[in-house]
Amino acid sequence: MDQFRRILVGLDLSDLDKELVDFTVYLDKIFSFNRITFIHIEKSLELPEDILKDYPDIMAPLDETFEKQMIDEINGKFQDSDAEIEFKVEEGHPEVELLKWVRIKDADLLILGKKRNEKGAGVVPSKVGRAARSSVLVVPQRSRLPIKKILVAVDFSDESEMCLKRIMEPAERMGAEVILEHVYYVPVGYTKTGKSFEEFAAIMRKNAQGHMNDFLQKIGMERLANKVIYRLDKGNDPSDEIMQSAEEKEIDLIALGSKGRSDPAAFFLGSLAEKLVQRDYSIPVLVDKHKGRVMKFLEALINI
């Protein structure tokens, strides 16, 4: 089974970085990464001329200054790791540069932080996560460690199968409980059947349970049948139901497979994964992808 081996971690040199680095150290002990590249993207690495005139003692280029800051903050935290540790400082637009370096480093996983209660905090993670050809883990401030409970969203797709299979082995090493969730809905036009909303909701739930049993049997994970949460989507937004379950069950990590749709409209319509990433919660979200399956035009249009 493919695991995460080459990791790219985006740092913004704020207080959030300590939590992000600690989270990466924790995951490295579980996955035994081969290479971890810490990268900071600065819009401009040039100091204004008036600043240089007022402060002539500033000699070191900004990229060297930022790289030293990263090294000083991270040095010593990976002493017990076999991973190759790299530091990079790049100039440019954060979304564009992150996508470029995911490709250059052939990263299996991109780890990004997200500040809580800050306007627009989820914009960069959601835009990059949408277009990245790697899996993406978004770690909000105040995320809990160690990971003891993992919620996997399941829609019976190949991507759900991939995500569940990927998460089971590391979950066992973490000693984490894996809980599944399927969000079902009542289709438009149910009234034509002569049944009430509640009656048809019960029918849809029973149908979902049958599909879940078939899904788990197909992948040899029948043992998880008693670890499934079924929730009715009443507001046409399954991310509400998933986050509510995550809070009620005190979940430490949400994981789901990304479909990587080829329909160009998906870029503008968003997705369940994107909505979860944008939520103002302290629960990390892992968006698991088939590596390399991404739409080329998304990378070209990421600035939109």
pTM: 0.86
- Pick the more confident residue, 292 or 28: 28
What integer pLDDT is reported at residue 52 of this predicted model?
Answer: 56
Q: What is the pLDDT of residue 267?
A: 36
Least confident of 68-72, 174-178, 266-270, 294-298: 266-270
Q: How many CB atoms lie within 10 A of CB 69?
A: 16
The average pLDDT across 100-120 equals 85
Return the pLDDT at 45.
Answer: 65
In this structure, the strands spanning 109-114 and 6-11 are parallel
Q: Is the pLDDT of residue 172 over 90?
A: yes
pLDDT score, position 133: 82
Res 123: pLDDT: 62
Does the pLDDT at position 280 exceed 80? no
pLDDT of residue 62: 73
Res 260 pLDDT > 60: no
pLDDT-derived band at 292, boundaries 50, 70, 90: low
Q: Does residue 218 have a pLDDT over 90?
A: yes
Q: Where are the alpha helices (DSSP H) in 75-115?
A: 94-104
Q: What is the pLDDT of residue 118?
A: 59
Q: Which fold has domain 6-300?
A: Rossmann fold (3.40.50)
Confidence of residue 293 (pLDDT cuts 50, 70, 90): low
Judge residue 263's burial from the number of C-beta atoms within 10 Å of its C-beta, 0-12 exposed, 13-18 middle, 19 or more buried.
Answer: exposed
The predicted pLDDT at position 51 comes to 57
Tell me the per-residue pLDDT of 10-26, one tens digit each, with 9 for 90 and over. Answer: 998 888 899 999 999 99
* DSSP state at residue 7: E
Average pLDDT over residues 138-147: 92
How sure is the predictor about 234, in pLDDT bands with cuts at 50, 70 and 90?
confident
Q: How confident is the model at residue 283 (pLDDT cuts 50, 70, 90)?
A: very high
Instruction: Please state, in angstroms and rounded to a whole number, the distance separating the CA atoms of residues 277 and 125.
Output: 7
How much is the average pLDDT of 280-302? Answer: 68
The per-residue b/e assignment along 104-125, b for 16 or more CB within 10 angstroms, e otherwise, is: ebebbbbbbbbbeeeeebbebb
Instruction: Report how far residue 143's alpha carbon sits from residue 153's, in angstroms, rounded to the nearest whole number.
Output: 19
Q: How far apart are CA 230 and CA 220, in angstroms?
A: 20
The chain-wide mean pLDDT, for the chain, equals 84
Locate tokens 């990791």: which residue? 7
Please report the DSSP string for 214-251 in residue order. HHHHHTT-GGGGGGEEEEE-SSS-HHHHHHHHHHHTT-
Tens-digit pLDDT profile for residues 29-62: 999 999 999 999 988 766 666 655 665 665 556 7
